[in-house]
Structure 1
Amino acid sequence: MQGKQKLNLFSFTMIVVGLVIGMGIFRTAATSARDAIAPSVYFTAWVLGGFIALCGALTYAEIGSRYPVTGGYYKIFSYAYHPSIAFAINCIILISNAASLSGVALIGSGYIAKLFPQWQWTDIDKALLSCGAIIIFYAINLMGLRMSSRAQNVLMLIKITMIVVLIGALLFPHDSAQAAVSAAAPAAVTTPSMSWIQSLGLSLIAVSFTYGGYQQTINFGNEVDRPSKNIPKGIFIGIAIIIALYLLVNLSYYSIVGFDNMKGEREIAYVVIEKTFGTRGADIFSFFLFFGVLAYVNALLLSNPRVMYAMGTEGTLPAVFMKQNKKNAVLTVSLTVFAAMCIVILFFAQTFEKILNFTIFLDCFGMVASSATIFVLRKRTKHLDNTGIYKMKLFPVLPVIFIAAYLFVGTSIAIQTPDTALVGVAVLAAFMVLYFVTQKFRRQPVLPADPEQEA
């Protein structure tokens, strides 16, 4: 480990930015605006979302510093709680990732549909288009194609370029009388009696999706040079950059499209580009955005089957999930099951809004449970204090704020869509029952890991 290269401040900061900035900003702004009763609610949600992400990133960074084991969330949950909870939450995280993939695929299909305005696209049509993209990349992955670092860099370049273009649109003159309102299904009407706090909670659902990804800092806590200094600096700088970019993009949406028009526009970035650079420019923008979405789909199809493989090696999933193609080492069973999960969720929900509520509600379980492990780890790993690991300041304020925020978002989802919440709770309970039912069939007992042996 002594000869292992460490991440410097700049590299870690760019990782934080890369983990968070995804495809959501091109769609979720409209959903967040729909649930906001006023612009003050809308912009507060985006600033608050960034602050919550900051609290979460710092919390996960310390968890990763105190418990730097391979196996990720599962071993941390097993050590802090019980293997049954670890199994159940790890499974719902996989389902949440599948839902996230399906939701992003729907974002892409919505923008590609803009290239063919003569067709009357329905939600089912867009779901079928998204399904086709998933199947294509499933087939590509079966052939052994791996996402190269070059492809990831291209994807990041596309995303950053698109964000810069959206921000740059603010510098061009616009005729507000030409503001376009989507001909798609009308947005849900926010009831006048809704309170400011209730509206904030609903608006935060979409914002939480857009700020997601910072939890992966748990994987870098032991890989950063001078972690006690560079981790907090990198996270602060990275989250600050993300908040600034998101606020500027939202200012562009707000100024060019208009707050009321935002509520009814699904492909909101298309409208901004169309009003700034014309229909041809908006079509080109949508074309590249769709390819960015496809790369994201491919990345998740690559990464999540490996999580299922790891669970198979530990005995928490059947051994069949470890099956590999002898020629190209593709995880055929895990890949097939994960792709099938994405397609089932896609047709179960069909719309981005339903998938959004489902994935964020599942995330609430994972976020609360995983961040709360910091309280257990602080007690059990006191011997690591003052050894150079990252240890957050303002403990326990930051993790408590983070946990409270996700409890607030989860409660907002349960109030808005109780059916979604019931399904989420049922899924969690079903996985816990499944753990105990299948316990006797496991190859070996799954015991909580010892961090002393894993380190």
Structure 2
Amino acid sequence: MSIKPKLGLFDLTMIVVSLVIGMGIFRTPINVSREVNEPWQFLLIWVIGGFVTLCGALTYAEIGSRYPKAGGFYKVMSYCYHPAYAFMINWTVLISNAASVAAVCMIGAEYIGPVLLPASLQNNAGLKLIAFGTVALLYTVNMIGIRMSASWQNILTVIKILMVLVLCMTIFVGDVQAPKAVESITGHNGHNWLYMFGAALVPVFFTYGGYQQTINFGSDIKEPARNMPKGIFIGMAIIITAYFTINYAYIKVIGFEQLKTTDALASRMMQAFFGESGFKITSVLLFISVMGYANVNLISNPRMYYAMAEDGVLPAIFMRVNPATQVQQVALTVFTALIIIVIFFLGTFDKMLKYVMLFDTIGLASAAASIFVLRRKTKSMDGLGIYKMKSYPYTTLIFVLVYLMVTVNIFIQDWKGALIGLSIFFVGLPLYFGAKKVVREEITNN
């Protein structure tokens, strides 16, 4: 049975906003402020990041419209490139997703740490302990078959929306400085503007991430040729406005120089207005949001293993589901182990961020570039009501080139770490052939 389009303009707009606005905006502005020298540069980079993200979202919207298949990146790149390359990309994406969950758990630890831990334990080891405990708790909950209900996820969304609105409203309040005194950290005065903006775009793109999932809605949208671009434009306009306003509020309340070393941003903002109780309440609420985000990923990512196993590129054991609890025990355990490994070996949000974005920039640029092949292979669909970018190929070229620039910048910043990350990508090739061999043997034995 084919998918029938049921989503209108408002639905798509809300989907775009929901996909993008996550936990990053409550932490990554610290990283961005460290990479630039002036407040106007800080604000400009968020606008530039939003524009590039819009280019990517439009590209992925057309990909989803032309190739509405379940399986996301794997199916598209397998069709346009080669199954081996698709496996290598998705292998790194799964690691990237684990690193993303680990990074968000560290954000949660930064928020809840001052509330739970004594001052002597408010260090990297203490934050790691909280992150480990969070992952272990959610793993246990998922293994016994208890999932977060839809109402829990609604509460999570409401908390994030309220936090965003409150942070935006602070720009209308008189000058209030956050009570935490910190030392100043200067930007990259010794580097040229291209390097500076490339470095700043790493955390910005992490914060704008999520739009790529519009690839899954190409066949769900009514009148896609009209509603796709309008919904994405409106959604991105809302997001860019919200992010710009929040970051302006950070500068106004905390101060640009202080922003560079201020932890738990949202809580510090609330502390400035409501005192210590505001700090603690906000810290707890954001930690709950982090748990919700991590839990959703523990539920969803094992499904990616399932899809790859179903396609014959992972052993069948990854499709095994406990009949009593409906839990993919092997896939869930593997994904959880990846999260714990990332937390243990990297440990800080800053290091995790670079690994996440190294994998993401390669994967997202590759997936976006598939439109050049896909347009040729699906030329017969032109004029049949699918969404087709009017600004092609410039929209896609801007996105791909900027993301490749960010990839190069990550190598410049930490070439040893980047090489390790790149080696993980290439390890995917022998893994692909090894997995295919195991699958063939399983089929033969059965």
Return the TM-score normalized by structure 1. Answer: 0.94
Q: 1:7 to 1:128 in 2, by over 3 A?
A: same
Instruction: Report 1:285-364 matches (<5 A).
Output: 285-364=282-361
Q: Distance in 2 between matches of 1:130 and 1:422?
A: 26
Q: Distance in 2 between matches of 1:7 and 1:14?
A: 11
Deviation at 1:4, TM superposition (A): 3.4
3-state SS of paired residue (1:173): coil
Q: Distance in 2 between matches of 1:302 and 1:151?
A: 14
CA contact (8 A) 2:113 2:130 kept: no
Give the equivalent residue in structure 1 for 2:126: 125
Instruction: Report 1:44-443 matches (<5 A).
Output: 44-116=44-116, 118-120=118-120, 121-176=122-177, 179-182=179-182, 189-443=186-440
Q: Distance in 1 between matches of 2:2 and 2:312?
A: 32
Q: Which amino acid is the alignment partner of residue 91 of structure 2?
A: C
Q: 1:117 to 1:126 in 2, by over 3 A?
A: closer
Q: Which amino acid is the alignment partner of residue 10 of structure 1?
A: F
Deviates more, 1:118-127 or 1:154-163: 118-127
Q: Distance in 2 between matches of 1:84 and 1:282?
A: 49
Q: Distance in 2 between matches of 1:366 and 1:11?
A: 27
Deviation at 1:188, TM superposition (A): 6.3
CA contact (8 A) 1:315 1:442 kept: yes
Deviation at 1:279, TM superposition (A): 1.3
Q: Distance in 2 between matches of 1:91 and 1:60?
A: 20
Q: 1:319 to 1:241 in 2, by over 3 A?
A: same
3-state SS of paired residue (2:119): coil
Deviates more, 1:348-357 or 1:271-280: 271-280
Deviates more, 1:66-75 or 1:47-56: 66-75
Q: 1:175 to 1:66 in 2, by over 3 A?
A: closer
Structure 1's consecutive aligned runs of 4 or more residues displaced over 4 angstroms after TM superposition are: 186-189
- Runs of 5+ unmatched residues, structure 2: none
- Runs of 5+ unmatched residues, structure 1: 447-455
Q: Which amino acid is the alignment partner of residue 25 of structure 1?
A: I
CA contact (8 A) 2:184 2:258 kept: no
Query: What per-residue deviation string (whole Å, max 9, x for no partner) do you get for residues 347-389 of structure 1?
Result: 1111000000000011011011100110001000000000011
CA contact (8 A) 2:253 2:269 kept: yes
Q: Distance in 2 between matches of 1:27 and 1:113?
A: 14
CA contact (8 A) 1:315 1:444 kept: no
Deviation at 1:281, TM superposition (A): 0.9
Return the TM-score normalized by structure 2. Answer: 0.95
Give the equivalent residue in structure 2 for 1:43: 43
Q: 1:118 to 1:439 in 2, by over 3 A?
A: closer
Q: Which amino acid is the alignment partner of residue 45 of structure 2?
A: A
Deviates more, 1:41-50 or 1:289-298: 41-50
Q: Distance in 1 between matches of 2:255 and 2:346?
A: 29
CA contact (8 A) 2:314 2:436 kept: no
CA contact (8 A) 1:62 1:391 kept: yes
Query: What per-residue deviation string (whole Å, max 9, x for no partner) do you get for residues 317-341 of structure 1?
Result: 1111111112122100000000000
Deviation at 1:444, TM superposition (A): 8.4
Q: 1:207 to 1:3 in 2, by over 3 A?
A: closer
Q: Which amino acid is the alignment partner of residue 106 of structure 1?
A: M
Identical aligned residues as a percent = 44
3-state SS of paired residue (2:365): helix
Q: Distance in 1 between matches of 2:324 and 2:187?
A: 55
